[in-house]
Structure 1
Amino acid sequence: MSTSGSTALPDGGLKSPGAGLITLDPVRTALLRGLDELLTGLAARLAAPEVIGPPLLSVAGLARLDYFRNFPHLGVSAGRFTPEALDGLAAGAPPAGLPLEPTGHLLPSATCYGLLLSLEGRDVGEDGLRLSASGRCFRNETHYDGMRRLWGFHMREVLYLGTKQGALEHLARGAEFIEEAAGRLGLALTRAAADDPFYDRGGSRARLMALDPVKHEFSAPDGTAIASVNRHRNFFGERLDIRAGSHGPAYSACVAFGLERWVHAMVLAHGGPEQALDQLRAATATATATTMTTTTPAT
């Protein structure tokens, strides 16, 4: 399938606005949007309705979740320039060194945090709750590398809260979906345990995590992790008083997709963005045809 109808860009295309920042051209944008639509198939399969999470996260709320013990380096603060700083900027002064007022909020570093904080004090019931959301996430990193490691990126997550067994089943079905989607897209992924828990690295929970990993990543051949399955145990249920009926504090789990990283993996696997988009469209068309064949009643 040809992609020659894409809008032409100026000579040289679109340049990066800065380290860790990127503007996607029309082909890569179509690839990202199409991949997100395909990956929402997990939400449809698990009957997880779409929601939109908050654009900022409370520092106080994140502190209760050990965020600043586990991920102190990732947080990107949301600050305001003081009136004096605004006067300086208007006069052409460089922004470096101008005072900022704290707002008590961070930009999200993962989609699930906003959803979990929004459910504080709630009872998700005996049957549990599933939600799907996609949002922009932001992380301070030690270095940035093309679409593999960005300051700001899109993350799709499918979150579950409920029973311990329900959380395990959620992750099993999520892992099955990742491998199925990768196969349809012509991606060769490897699965391995990760070492970035939601828990304090220095305590007994960290030692438990070493024996019983709570996160597994699915990586492209160049080592780029493009998806993960994350088992939180009942950590968030306890900290946020989220209950699962008579089962007590809710167990939670999420399946996460880094969309720019999926774009990177597709381009790597198929030799270029146009070829990757053609592969995505072919995979989507095949899936649609299969669905219609299996759902159309016999006459």
Structure 2
Amino acid sequence: MDMQTSFLDRLFESGLLIDTGVDGLYGRSGQFEEVITAFERLIDKFGGADGAEAMRFPPGMNRALFEKSGYMKSFPQLAGTVHSFCGSELDHMNLLQCMEVGDDWTKGQEATDIVLTPAACYPLYPTIAKRGNLPAKGGLFDLQSYCFRHEPSKDPARQQLFRMREYVCMGTESHVTDFRQRWMDRGVEMMKQVGLQVVIDVANDPFFGRAGKMMVNNQRDQNLKFELLIPITSTANPTACMSFNYHQDSFGQKWDLNLEDGSVAHTACVGFGLERIALALFHHHGLDVKEWPANVRKALWG
């Protein structure tokens, strides 16, 4: 039995995660949720004084805006769309007959105007663009959302529906890169306070296909993405629990995000994988939070 399956089985047996029969789709216990809530308070402690504007979007977004984002060009393998039945009574009867005999009943479904949110920041950019030019100080936003990525796996740290907390900064190049560096430093300190040893390394997104290989190389060569890595199910391949991304002016160009003087805004974001961080805590400190080190409990619960 590999480490991924072993840890997942222990999480099921303890009740921290609840098996739904679909890899990467799990229920969470009250204790699991308490850990995430406590860690989000720690995030607020580090970032609250920055004065970010908080927004909370649902786990679905406008399909037309999703299409404009270009996500399907880069990550078609990860996307999830929402389909619904739009047929007649006869179509409904045929659907039920298909279900009864075990045939594919989904062929009668049609795409709706909603897609599953792939990252917490995706609905933000068109929302802010509608406001007009950014103020002189730029923009800083606090987001949290369930996100979907089609990556079924036995690795409990690779879930298909998971929560992402983000801070997104919009402004000049120096403004947003300073923001990113500040959060890289904060991320290391946060994890130190909860007893987790980390490594920060250059990274890339999982771009699709042959064209994606060039995008991977460009992203790494320009140091556009860094990840904070913590061993959860593998010491050789630690898990990315935070990411620090500099988008240059790509989102500014795409969404017509402009600074006060009319120049194109640069953007950067820091993302927290909340389930992954909780899993890292359970892996390193044990499945019973009452037995966690006193300093860790103090950092999370005071």
Query: Could you state the TM-score of these two structures normalised by the residue count of structure 1?
Result: 0.82
- Cα deviation per residue 1:70-129 (whole Å; 9 max; x = unaligned)? 111111101112345655459963584332111133100110001112123431122101
Q: Identify which of 201, 217, 221 aligns with 1:211.
A: 221
Aligned partners of 1:197 and 1:215 also within 8 Å:
no
Question: 1:128 is matched with which residue: 128, 138, 142?
Answer: 138
Please state if 1:76 is matched with 2:80. Answer: yes
In structure 2, distance between residues paired with 1:268 and 1:31: 13
Contact 1:197 1:209 in 2 (8 A): no
Output the amino acid matched with 2:26: I
Q: Which runs of 5+ in 1 are unaligned?
A: 1-10, 287-299
Asked if 1:180 is matched to 2:189, the reply is yes
Aligned residues: 275
Q: Do the aligned partners of residues 146 and 280 (structure 1) sit closer, same or farther apart at CA in structure 2, a change above 3 Å counting?
A: farther
| C-alpha RMSD of matched pairs (Å) | 2.8
**Deviations along 1:142-174, whole A, 9 cap, x unmatched?**
x31343011101110011111111111110111
**Structure 1 residues 45-54 or 183-192, which shifts more?**
45-54
Contact 1:80–1:102 under 8 Å retained in 2: yes
Q: What pairs with 1:43-192 in structure 2 (closer than 5 Å)?
A: 43-83=47-87, 88-89=95-96, 93=100, 96-98=104-106, 99-121=108-130, 122-141=132-151, 143-192=152-201
Q: Which sections of structure 2, spanning at least 5 residues, go unmatched?
A: 1-12
The aligned amino acid for 1:265 is: A
1: CA distance, partners of 2:248 / 2:217: 15
CA distance in 1 between counterparts of 2:240 and 2:264 reads 31
Q: 1:204, CA displacement in angstroms?
A: 7.6
SS for the counterpart of 1:228 is strand
Instruction: Pick which of 255-264 and 15-24 moved more.
Output: 15-24
CA contact 2:42–2:299 (8 Å) conserved in 1: no
Determine if the alignment matches structure 1 residue 253 to structure 2 residue 265: no
Equivalent residue number for residue 32 of structure 2: 28
Aligned-pair distance for 1:269?
A: 1.3
Aligned to 2:5: none
- Report the TM-score, using the length of structure 2 for normalisation: 0.81
Q: Deviations over 1:169-194 (max 9, x none)?
A: 11011111111110100000111111
2: CA distance between counterparts of 1:271 and 1:135? 27
Q: Which has the higher strand share?
A: 2
2:262 is equivalent to residue 269 of structure 1:
no
Deviates more, 1:255-264 or 1:94-103: 94-103
Work out the CA distance in 2 between the residues paired with 1:277 and 1:164: 41
Q: Secondary structure at the match of 2:136?
A: coil
Question: Which amino acid in structure 2 is aligned with residue 217 of structure 1?
Answer: E
Contact 1:197 1:214 in 2 (8 A): no
Q: What is the DSSP-based 3-state SS (H/G/I as helix, E as strand, rest coil) of the residue aligned with 2:53?
A: coil
- Confirm or deny that 1:17 pairs with 2:12: no
Instruction: Indicate conservation of the 8 Å contact 1:56/1:107, yes or no.
Output: yes
Amino acid at match of 1:145: K
Distance 1:95 1:241 in 2: 46
In the alignment, which of 224, 227, 236 is matched to residue 242 of structure 2?
227
Partners of 1:277 and 1:91 lie apart in 2 by 55
**Distance change (3 Å), C-alpha of 1:30 and 1:81:** same
- Contact between 2:79 and 2:150, CA under 8 Å: does it hold in 1? yes
* Aligned mates of 1:128, 1:205 — CA distance in 2: 28
Q: Which one is further off, 244-253 or 143-152? A: 143-152
Instruction: Name the CA distance, whole Å, in 2 between partners of 1:180 and 1:260.
Output: 19
Q: Deviations over 1:241-277 (max 9, x none)?
A: 0111116111011100010000111011112242359
AA in 2 matched with 1:16:
D
Query: Closer, same or farther in 2 for the Cα pair 1:58/1:281, shift >3 Å?
Result: same
CA distance in 2, matches of 1:12, 1:90: 40
Judged with a 3 Å threshold, the aligned counterparts in structure 2 of structure 1 residues 56 and 210 are, in CA distance, closer, same or farther, namely same
Paired amino acid for 2:279: H
Q: Which moved more, 1:182-191 or 1:112-121?
A: 112-121
Letter in 1 for 2:250: F
Are the structure 2 counterparts of residues 86 and 216 from structure 1 closer, same or farther at C-alpha, using a change threshold of 3 Å?
farther
Aligned to 2:144, what secondary structure does the other structure show?
strand
